[in-house]
Structure 1
Amino acid sequence: MRTDDFLEVMRELVAFVRVAEAGSFSAAARRHGQTPSAISRQVARLESVMGVSLLQRTTRQLRLTEAGMAVLERGRDMVAAAQASMRVAEGHVGTPKGLIRVSAPKAFARHVLQRPLLSFLERYPGVDVHLLVVDRPVDPLREGVDLVIRLTDDPPQGMVARALMPVRQLVLASPDYLASHEAIRSPEDLMAHSCLSIGEQERDSRWRFVRGDDEVELAVAGRYTLNHGEMRLAAIEAGLGVGCVQDFVAHDALADGRVVHVLPEWALDTNYQGMAYLLFLASRYTTPKVRVLVDHLVAALRPPPAGSPRPPA
């Protein structure tokens, strides 16, 4: 193959990279709006032009050949470079316009992100937003996502991180439950209560509390364990026991008096809280559309000074 033949198979190279990353022709086709047969033909043509087999096909899976692994490594770089080149001109256009892809955890997207995104879309009619709502780590480069919202205390290296808002897990109970059960004056008192845990990890049944220099860790137990914050809140409201829920999920229930914050002077130390960060590759921020959305979300979600109302989104 002549070295300049790649100009004729750039589309096929992109198709191969998509298939290799997605793990199947059908998954790549669904993700990019094509048919599996069309994707398969493109990969076959690339193999024909290159004169090598890139994929070993079986009825159950695809496996990269040695040549396929080498082509994938370089092909990813070429696809990323092409995408960056397409963004160069856009980055010099003064008016924000175009599509922004954003990913966020499900509960955060529903309870926190929806309102500022709607106000952003109203303010910038030339910008479209594709919101990917998933409770899994998202690779922005691989999945073509411009902005990733992630709850963490350790933002990943190689990405720009803008803090949006702190997130805490609160220990809650309904007023009726508290009125009919033993008083909860210290973390140790929870051992006599039915506690609703998240249940995703073994340590979720051990609650660790911090108050200044004081630390208390204890094993809790209860009749209902579930890893869905809104359902856990509903069970707490129904009087099934004492449970932990993220503060933004519990906000309205607390304001309405449907639940009470138990042990407010103690902080619950858990893996399911931290700072909500807006993550993006440095190059993505150069485009006006991304820059204005980042600034909008940071301003809308930044905690107001003590005693001040949060500014409208």
Structure 2
Amino acid sequence: MSINLPLPLLGEMAIFVKVVEVGSFSEAARQLGSSPSAVSRSISRLEKALAMRLLQRTTRKLRLSEGGEEVFKRCSEMVSAAKSVMEISGQFTHEAEGLVRISVPKAVGRFVVHPYMPEFLRRYPKVDVELLLEDRNIDLIDDNVDLAIRITDHPPAGLVGRQLLTIDHLLCATPQYLAEHGTPSHPHDLLSHSCIYLGETPSDARWKFKKGSKLVTVGVRGRYAANHTGVRLGAVLEHIGIGSLPYFTVRHALEQGLLVRVLPDWTFLASYHGGAWLLHSPTRYLPPKLRVFIDYLVECLAKEPTLNRQGKQEQKGCELPEGRG
């Protein structure tokens, strides 16, 4: 095999990675601005040059062959290296520009991140933002995402970033609802109330509380459940019942007196809790578009300490890249 062989095949290798990532020739062609037949020819040329079958084609999906899995791993490393080269070149561009793709939990995206985006877009006219609101763990490389916000007490190894805020949950209701139905003084009093909860699994209706050394679990009931934070907030504001909500979604309503905290002497133990971490892949060359986005979001949230009910911001676990103190 000629030592010059890999150079003409670099393009085919990159196309092969894209086909595997998206799972089809047609979708790869769409994203690459090509045609399915051209993509197919590129894969055929790569298979011929390597003298091996890389993909097993069926009518429903593509599957990597045993040898194809190893080739895909090496080709993915090549594509990642190429992206790193582009990141390095970006360090010499003083003006931030390009697309920032950030994956954010739905509630955090809607109530915490989105309100600051209009000003960011005005401040940086050459930076575009794609806000992906999704409650799932994503892989930054596989999902082609630049930044991710995750709710966790233990940031994943291999990523670096910054804790933006602490997620606290509490119970709240409108003064009108409490005036009509009474104010609970103990978690067991919730049994006689209409409670608004997540409703995705049976455990969502089992609310847990802590006060000192006391632990109490109550199986609540209600006529309305919703797996969307904004919907539950709206239901509480409509006097439907007592709802469990992250503090950052209700803070303005509490400040305005539209809502009242229920059982304030008890800590509500929700499964959706921890720190909201802004994470990205480790790199010595952070593109300007990412640097200004991170700086901007941290700056905005630092001005609003009330996003954390304890009124404090923390840093732990992940380390920031050099120069990001």
1:199 maps to what in 2?
199
The DSSP-based 3-state class of the residue aligned with 1:243 is strand
Per mean C-alpha deviation after superposition, the further-off stretch among 187-196 and 54-63 is 187-196
1:142 maps to what in 2?
142
CA RMSD in angstroms comes to 2.5
Q: Distance in 1 between matches of 2:33 and 2:102?
A: 19
Contact 1:147 1:279 in 2 (8 A): yes
For 2:119, the aligned partner's letter is S
Alpha-carbon displacement from aligned partner over 1:195-219 (angstroms, at most 9, x marks no partner): 2221223321111112344332222
For 1:88, the aligned partner's letter is I
For residues 142-181 of structure 1, the aligned pairs below 5 Å read: 142-181=142-181
Q: Distance in 2 between matches of 1:220 and 1:81?
A: 53
TM-score, scaled relative to structure 2: 0.85
1:95 maps to what in 2?
95
1:93 deviates by 3.3
1:303 deviates by 6.1
Q: Distance in 2 between matches of 1:171 and 1:33?
A: 50
1:260 maps to what in 2?
260
1:285 deviates by 5.8
The DSSP-based 3-state class of the residue aligned with 1:289 is helix
Contact 1:150 1:278 in 2 (8 A): yes
1:74 deviates by 0.7
Q: Distance in 2 between matches of 1:244 and 1:284?
A: 41
Q: Distance in 2 between matches of 1:153 and 1:269?
A: 14
For 1:301, the aligned partner's letter is L
Contact 2:183 2:262 in 1 (8 A): no
Does structure 1 residue 275 correspond to structure 2 residue 275?
yes
The DSSP-based 3-state class of the residue aligned with 2:141 is helix
2:11 maps to what in 1?
11
Does structure 1 residue 188 correspond to structure 2 residue 188?
yes
Note closer, same or farther for the CA distance 1:134–1:41 as it changes in structure 2 (3 Å cut): farther
Alpha-carbon displacement from aligned partner over 1:81-102 (angstroms, at most 9, x marks no partner): 1110111121233333333222
1:237 maps to what in 2?
237
1:194 deviates by 2.0
1:117 deviates by 2.6
Note closer, same or farther for the CA distance 1:34–1:302 as it changes in structure 2 (3 Å cut): farther
Structure 2, unaligned stretches of length 5 or more?
313-325
1:35 deviates by 4.5
2:86 maps to what in 1?
86
1:69 deviates by 0.6
1:27 deviates by 4.2
Alpha-carbon displacement from aligned partner over 1:67-117 (angstroms, at most 9, x marks no partner): 111101111111111110111121233333333222212222222112323
For 1:146, the aligned partner's letter is D
Number of residue equivalences: 309
1:219 maps to what in 2?
219
Per mean C-alpha deviation after superposition, the further-off stretch among 52-61 and 7-16 is 7-16
Q: Distance in 2 between matches of 1:106 and 1:196?
A: 18
Q: Distance in 2 between matches of 1:230 and 1:305?
A: 22
The DSSP-based 3-state class of the residue aligned with 2:16 is helix
Note closer, same or farther for the CA distance 1:247–1:38 as it changes in structure 2 (3 Å cut): farther
1:105 maps to what in 2?
105
Q: Distance in 2 between matches of 1:101 and 1:221?
A: 39
TM-score, scaled relative to structure 1: 0.88
Q: Distance in 2 between matches of 1:129 and 1:175?
A: 39
1:56 deviates by 0.8
For 1:150, the aligned partner's letter is R
1:115 maps to what in 2?
115
1:291 maps to what in 2?
291
1:191 deviates by 1.7
Q: Distance in 1 between matches of 2:171 and 2:34?
A: 48
Contact 1:55 1:62 in 2 (8 A): yes
Note closer, same or farther for the CA distance 1:156–1:271 as it changes in structure 2 (3 Å cut): same
Q: Distance in 2 between matches of 1:157 and 1:59?
A: 38
Q: Distance in 1 between matches of 2:295 and 2:130?
A: 18
Note closer, same or farther for the CA distance 1:37–1:168 as it changes in structure 2 (3 Å cut): farther
Q: Distance in 2 between matches of 1:39 and 1:199?
A: 45
The DSSP-based 3-state class of the residue aligned with 2:295 is helix
Contact 1:165 1:303 in 2 (8 A): no
1:284 deviates by 6.7
- Aligned identity (percent) is 43
Q: Distance in 1 between matches of 2:166 and 2:204?
A: 21
Structure 1, unaligned stretches of length 5 or more?
none
